[in-house]
Amino acid sequence: MSEINSFPQTLTIAGTDSGGGAGIMADMKTMQECGAFSTAVIVAVTAQNTLGVQDFQALDPKLINEQFSSINGDFKIRACKTGMLADAEHVSIVVDNLKKYDFGPLVLDPVMIAKGGAQLLSDEGINTIKNDLVKLSELITPNIPEAERLADCEIKNKDDMLLAAKKIKEMGAKNVLIKGGHSESLEVNDLVLLDDESHFWMKSKRVDTIRTHGTGDTISSAIVSRLALGDDMKSAILYGKDFVEAAIKNTIQVGHGHGPLNHWAYNAGGNNNEI
């Protein structure tokens, strides 16, 4: 007999992307492909396309609280993530709601600057993430510039990445994934530092493309989905890396700038064959 809410459900707490490639749109497409039912709390709305972010506005706190309450009142969320949170006030609203409700393990994607250069989180917002949100996270997934800001250090090589990951873990994140997409090497190296202090690297060939809009949203959402489906953290992270790799390799031609990923690619066998 089926039971209400037995299906794996996830929650993304982030900003929208009118261009469909990043933010909540990328999160929900990824979660769908990964076999989870996704819900969303919209924190900010952006006017955005593959050429950049033209404008954005964060939502009224009351409406954000109501979205959290609506989701809590009906669904059983097994894992959640945060993305673009705009400013300190909105980070604090999210912190309060995550303390109030049980939405399962939190994957914190500390989105700061969009690929096109727009600042999606204020400096004060970064401090509030460091002080209040990091300690609620089961996993934090900064890219290299975000890890530099969080750990307050410069990252030039793999040793620096490991040092930064250790500093971020000391702030209270249980597990840390530093994504290597912003390095200059031909090989992309993502670092994972696990709760038990062990670490490993996820290596892939750099794909020569500017169509990398929403890579961070995609890997973190794939991880959240797998956690909701019952994977342990390490398996979920390895799955997320495979998922995003397929989505980057199998380019789709959409938009004139930093185009979106191919979210169908993984399920279409996109890590084995070009599709």
Ligand X SMILES: Nc1ncnc2c1ncn2[C@@H]1O[C@H](COP(=O)(O)OP(=O)(O)O)[C@@H](O)[C@H]1O
Per partner kind, with CB cut-offs from 5 to 8 A, the member of ligand X, ligand MP5, none near residue 190 is ligand X
Least separation in angstroms between residue 230's CB and ligand MP5 is 27
- Contact call for residue 29 and ligand MP5 (CB under 6 A): no
Establish if 261 lies at the interface with ligand MP5 (CB under 6 A). Answer: no
Where do contacts with ligand X occur on this chain (CB under 6 A)? 143, 179-182, 188, 190, 204, 206-207, 209, 212, 215-216, 219, 241, 244, 248
Residue closest to 148 by CA, chosen among 168, 118, 133: 168
CB closer to ligand MP5, 133 vs 169: 133
Whether the Cβ atoms of residue 205 and residue 188 lie closer than 8 Å to each other = yes
Please name every residue paired with 11 in a beta bridge, in sequence order, or none if there are none: 39, 80
Our finding on whether 168 is near ligand MP5 (CB under 6 A) is no
Give yes or no for residue 260 binding ligand MP5 (CB under 6 A).
no
Please report which helix (H) or strand (E) contains residue 107, including its range. strand 106-108
Contact partner, 206, from ligand MP5, ligand X, none, Cβ < 5-8 Å per class: ligand X
Of residues 81 and 241, the one with the C-beta less far from ligand X = 241
Q: Report what 219 binds from ligand MP5, ligand X, none; CB cut-off 5-8 Å by kind.
A: ligand X
Question: What's the min distance (Å) between Cβ of 273 and ligand MP5?
Answer: 26
Other CB atoms within 10 Å distance of the CB of residue 195: 14
Single-letter residue type at 184: E
In this structure, the strands spanning 175-178 and 187-193 are antiparallel
**To the nearest whole angstrom, how small is the minimum distance from the Cβ of residue 174 to ligand X?**
19
Classified as helix, coil or strand, 71 is helix
Six token digits for residue 166: 């250790």
C-alpha to C-alpha distance for 7 and 30, rounded to whole angstroms: 17
| 263 vs 250: CA distance, rounded Å | 9
* Beta carbons of 90 and 67 less than 8 angstroms apart: no
Give the one entry of ligand MP5, ligand X, none that residue 17 binds, where binding means its C-beta sits below a cut-off of 5 to 8 angstroms depending on kind: ligand MP5
Interacting residues toward ligand MP5 by CB under 6 A: 14-17, 22-23, 46, 48, 83-84, 111, 114-115, 120, 213-217
